[in-house]
Amino acid sequence: MTNKAEDQPGGKIKKMFPGRPRGRVPKGEVWMGTDFLAQAGFSDTPDNHSRLAHELGMDMICLPTADAMDCKPALGYRYFRPSDIRTAAGSGHHLVAAVVDGPLQEMVNRAGLMETLIGWVRDRKAFMEAYTREQEKILTLAAQCLDMGAQALVITDDMASERGPMISPGDIDTMCTGFYTRAVDMIHRAGRHLLLHSCGKITGLVPLFDRWKIDGLAAVQHGPNNLVDLQHQLPDGIIMAGIDADLLEPESSPGPEEDFSNTIALLRPSGGLILCSACGLYKGHHFDRIKRIYALAEKQGPGSA
């Protein structure tokens, strides 16, 4: 995941957050849900995402973005229009990223996971025709987001379960490489960054991600992957993660907090960490928990970035 002058450790982070104090780990969230904003006293608008991010000390805001809301599952957060990116970017206080469902994710949204995977096995020609239609829509949407001022894109495409890839890495290569190489080329030509989100254990797919030249991974789980090992596999890439779901629960024991602190201490020197939850901030009680987690992260002290 190298890119010209960004090849040095932490280079991509420095480019994304040029005014960041040395050693301070940037913070952001891929998903901030409606109930989470309500707990903080905000309605779910682009301006209020910016206000809450500022209140919490975040360095970036992410807006899930779509040009059509049909077939989108109810997951506790809303989707915004591309024009809302311009509103968020207009504040000038945060890096603004658009979060866009990838082609595979869109097919799952429409038909369900099992039906989509069965389609891949039974009729690959028909599957790829449908996948191609989705990818063209998404590339058009991504271009609109860039035009509206998005400084980064997060593409969400769940390719794995807790045990590993849902289909073989070779099949994912066949299915997805054409889309991702085009998306990366478009986004890099615009001077922006592309991060990929997939749930589950994705370590077996890292060589493929590296070949696509994406800039990093977003909202990845520590439990199935071990973020320290993942960072070693992607020494020049961004890891936007660090907070697994159990750490956000109010009854969280000292064990998860200690593990979190140790993990952040190991990841910080790479200069490629953006602190983020793996699951999103959806529930009202996440508001108090995320403030405590941020305080724990700051206690780790400056790193080498």
pLDDT in tens, 33-46: 999 999 999 999 99
The answer to whether the CB of 193 falls within 8 A of the CB of 150 is: no
Q: How much is the pLDDT for 168?
A: 95
Q: What's the whole-number average pLDDT of the chain? A: 90
Quickly name the fold that domain 24-298 has.
TIM Barrel (3.20.20)
Tokens of 284: 């009202």
Sheet of 193-197, strands arranged across: 60-64, 95-101, 152-156, 193-197, 216-220, 238-243, 273-277
Selection from 107, 44, 121, 47 nearest residue 77 by Cα: 44
Q: Does residue 5 have a pLDDT over 50?
A: no
* C-alpha span between 18 and 36 (Å, rounded): 29
Got the DSSP string for 217-245?
Answer: EEEE-HHHH-HHHHHHHSTTSEEEEEE-G
For residue 88, the tally of other CB atoms under 10 A from its CB is: 26
In whole angstroms, how large is the CA radius of gyration of the chain?
18
pLDDT of residue 255: 74
Structure confidence at residue 90 (pLDDT): 82
